[in-house]
Amino acid sequence: MKPNIEATEFGSINVEGITFEKDIIIRLDGDISKRKKKLSKKIYGTSHKISVGEAKHVYQKGAEKLIIGSGHEGMVKLSKKADAYFRKKDCDVELLPTPEAIKKWNEIEGKIIGLFHLTC
């Protein structure tokens, strides 16, 4: 069951009445976990560029779409290798500033996973 994202502000996101203050991943089954930013940070020195290692962690077999909340200022980007990985898996990626991404998340149907960056 896809959880509803109720709100976001700089540094937090509210999903089904629970406030998270760390970047999150929402899985196909609705499970919410903390984003493993270290997978990208150790490669690029920042969590603003998603590595292929993080892409492999985020992706789930059967996912048709990944919504990425790229931060309130839209700072998060996919690396070329991460982009190629998602293309190979036939998983469409939509990268939007986090406030726009949560609107899209709540509207869209299908086999969707989400990654939401909560600050810049």
Q: Which helix (H) or strand (E) holds 93?
A: strand 92-96
Give residue 118's pLDDT band: very low, low, confident or very high (50, 70, 90).
very high
Give residue 49's pLDDT band: very low, low, confident or very high (50, 70, 90).
very high
Average pLDDT over residues 35-59: 97
Three-state secondary-structure class, residue 76: coil
Give residue 1's pLDDT band: very low, low, confident or very high (50, 70, 90).
confident
Token pair for residue 50?
A: 């998603």
Rounded to whole angstroms, how far apart are CA atoms 69 and 48? Answer: 11
Rounded to whole angstroms, how far apart are CA atoms 54 and 9? Answer: 24
CATH topology for the 5-117 domain: Hypothetical Protein Mth938; Chain: A, (3.40.1230)
Average pLDDT over residues 43-68: 97
Rounded to whole angstroms, how far apart are CA atoms 118 and 15? Answer: 13
Average pLDDT over residues 10-31: 98
Q: 61 φ, ψ to 5°?
A: -55, 130
Give residue 12's pLDDT band: very low, low, confident or very high (50, 70, 90).
very high
